[in-house]
């Protein structure tokens, strides 16, 4: 009663948030993490539609991926790392903002003319730039191609790549008229340098993004930097440069993955040659699972579901984090984490002030470093598609699916053509991910109390983020 009559509760919440942020910032300052020489560089390598089993050591593909394998040996492998929505724009907006799609309103995959991430949500690049970081994005953007939504307007000093997916062009396999209305362009900073990308240009996308990244590292080695390397591949249509075409012996998809693996090696070698390896945190992940309807032009996952579903095959992303001397080498973590946690965690590491707007991610550095006894600071993680669809418990054991429709592949496609899919509906279901990570057995009847607890959390989340939309 005192707070409601003398000092409004909303003011108390705002004051508490301000004081908490100030205390954290002050603690970081006193610890010396704001020293320019000690602030870590950040490299995020984000793939497009990569499957869980595409790279060693997560899977056992027929082709070699020595550089990702080495990255896992030098860092920690995260086996239950999630994206909050298993599709392009929504996943990327969540990564850069630290906020759920239900909060930002960025859902699905935006085509040309997409409105992008609303300005009221700060990006990772914007907050790091305020803290003296040089920032660059190379590769696929896909959270706005209009004035005010492009990378240079959202905190990046440099940019080169596509504004949206590489299949949104006149050679689309099933809808060339729809996606060919506007040319697929290659941008460098504020200029269009290739007005209408052709197949020869597509074959160079991975190489160009890699070369730009290596050059950026070499030029910015004397100042803290944030490099966001967001490859267009292995999203269909698949392309790779001539030096990798046919190299895998496992078809075009294997060739594409081997070129991405090469790219990872080039970035890490550039860090070593610049003397930056020890003071750089490298994060390797993907925006969602494989687009399985494309058959042999899609990745693999042992889990149920794929891109555009809230099953593990869509939302669980093979992730590695390397930070020598800070993150354990050759380790494996089974606790759940999410891309929304990266922004607040990286703010903590770099002594960067959190965004003024509300976010949903939390600092999970103790879990990333493998600190004994660490617990997830969340009470749950949420997953959405066209609506709110599922949640998991903070310990990663239980997953509750709310009733919703999803697509299942009926007949996989081949050689760049999509196959057939059908719509299915899942009823309210509870899965024990610890014993059934493939979501095959609904145990809601055996654990009604667990389901009721998660349902109450889900109801509150839906009311907060989705009922207003």
Kindly write down the DSSP assignment for every residue of 367-389, as one continuous string: HHTT-TT---S-SEEEEESSSEE
Q: Are 388 and 465 in contact (CB under 8 A)?
A: yes
Q: What is the chain's percent helix, strand, coil content, to nearest 5?
A: 35, 20, 50
**Domains of the chain by range and CATH?**
37-378 (3.40.720.10), 382-465 (3.30.1120)
H helix or E strand, kind and range, residue 391: strand 388-393
The Cα–Cα gap between 77 and 329 comes to 9
- Token representation of residue 250: 């496992």
d(CA 427, CA 441): 12
CA dihedral 120, 85, 331, 334 (to 10 degrees): 120
Check if the beta carbon of residue 54 is closer than 8 Å to that of residue 301: no
Task: Measure the CA–CA gap between 231 and 380, rounded to whole angstroms.
Answer: 30
Q: How far apart are CA 388 and CA 384, in angstroms?
A: 4
How much is the pLDDT for 469?
Answer: 53
Rg (the chain; Cα; Å): 21
Range 59-87 burial, b when 16+ CB lie within 10 A, else e:
bebebbbebbbbbbebbbbbbbbbbbbbb
Give the residue among 1, 59, 78, 32 at the shortest CA–CA distance from 332: 78
Instruction: Give the Cα separation of 166 and 416 in Å (integer).
Output: 13
The pLDDT of residue 34: 53
What are the pLDDT digits (tens) for 178-232? 988 899 999 999 999 999 999 999 999 999 999 999 999 999 999 999 999 999 9
What pairing do the DSSP bridges indicate for beta strands 225-230 and 41-47? Answer: parallel
pLDDT at 177: 86
- Enumerate residue ranges in the chain where pLDDT < 70: 1-37, 468-469
CB 98 within 8 A of CB 348: no
Which residue among 110, 137, 142, 461 is the active-site one?
A: 142
What integer pLDDT is reported at residue 180 of this predicted model?
87
Helices (H) and strands (E) in the chain, counts: 14, 18
The pairing of strands 319-322 and 398-401 is: unpaired
3-class state of residue 280 by DSSP: strand
- What's residue 36's pLDDT? 67
User: What are the distances in angstroms from CA 253 to CA 57, 174, 191, 358, 436?
Assistant: 18, 20, 31, 40, 29
Question: Which is the catalytic residue, given 88, 240, 333, 347?
Answer: 88
The CB density around residue 6, as the number of other CB atoms within 10 Å, is: 7
User: Does the annotation mark 142 as catalytic?
Assistant: yes
Burial of 24 (0-12, 13-18, 19+ CB in 10 A): middle
Using CA atoms, how far apart are residues 218 and 262, in angstroms rounded to an integer? 18
Cis peptide bond prior to 74, omega within 30° of 0: no
Q: Calculate the CA dihedral of residues 254, 258, 260, 263 and round it to 10 degrees.
A: -170
For 75, phi then psi, to 5°, come to -135, -160
Q: Which of 385, 381, 374 has the alpha carbon at shortest distance from 454?
A: 381
């Amino acid at each position: 009663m005192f707070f409601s009559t003398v000092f409004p509760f909303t003011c108390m919440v705002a004051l508490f948030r301000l004081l908490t942020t100030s205390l954290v910032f002050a603690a970081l300052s006193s610890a010396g993490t704001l020293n320019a020489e000690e602030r870590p560089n950040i490299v995020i390598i984000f793939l497009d539609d990569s499957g869980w089993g595409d790279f060693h050591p997560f899977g056992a593909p027929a082709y070699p991926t020595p550089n990702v394998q080495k990255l896992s040996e030098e860092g920690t492998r995260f086996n239950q790392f999630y994206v909050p929505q298993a599709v392009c724009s929504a996943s990327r907006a969540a990564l850069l903002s630290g906020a759920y799609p239900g909060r930002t309103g960025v859902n699905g995959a935006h085509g040309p003319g997409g409105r992008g991430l609303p300005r009221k949500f700060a990006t990772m690049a914007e907050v790091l730039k305020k803290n003296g970081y040089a920032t660059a994005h190379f590769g696929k953007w896909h959270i706005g191609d209009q004035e005010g939504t492009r990378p240079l307007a959202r905190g990046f000093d440099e940019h080169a790549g596509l504004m949206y997916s590489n299949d949104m062009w006149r050679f689309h396999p099933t809808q060339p008229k729809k996606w060919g209305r506007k040319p697929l362009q290659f941008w460098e900073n504020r200029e269009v340098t290739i007005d209408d990308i052709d197949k020869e240009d597509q074959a160079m996308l991975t190489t160009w993004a890699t070369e730009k990244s290596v050059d950026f590292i070499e030029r910015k080695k004397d100042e803290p930097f944030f490099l966001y390397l967001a490859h267009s591949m292995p999203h269909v249509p698949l392309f790779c440069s001539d030096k990798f075409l046919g190299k895998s012996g496992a078809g075009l998809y294997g060739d594409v993955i081997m070129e991405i693996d090469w790219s990872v090696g080039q970035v890490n070698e550039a860090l070593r040659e610049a003397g930056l390896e020890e003071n750089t945190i490298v994060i390797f992940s993907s925006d969602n699972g494989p687009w399985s309807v494309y058959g042999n032009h899609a990745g693999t996952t042992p889990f149920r579901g794929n891109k555009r579903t809230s099953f593990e095959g869509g939302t669980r992303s093979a992730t590695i984090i390397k930070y020598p001397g800070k993150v354990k080498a050759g380790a494996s973590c089974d606790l759940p984490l999410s891309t929304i946690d990266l922004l607040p965690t990286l703010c903590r590491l770099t002594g960067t002030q959190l965004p003024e707007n509300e976010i949903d991610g939390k600092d999970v550095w103790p879990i990333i470093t493998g600190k004994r006894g660490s617990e997830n600071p969340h009470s749950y993680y949420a997953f959405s598609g066209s609506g709110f669809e599922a949640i998991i418990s903070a310990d990663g054991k239980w997953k509750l699916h709310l009733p919703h429709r999803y697509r299942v592949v009926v007949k996989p496609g081949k050689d760049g053509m999509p196959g057939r899919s059908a719509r299915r509906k899942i009823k309210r279901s509870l899965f024990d991910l610890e014993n059934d990570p493939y979501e095959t057995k609904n145990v809601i009847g055996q654990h009604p109390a667990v389901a009721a607890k998660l349902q109450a959390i889900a109801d509150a989340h839906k009311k907060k983020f989705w009922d207003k939309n």
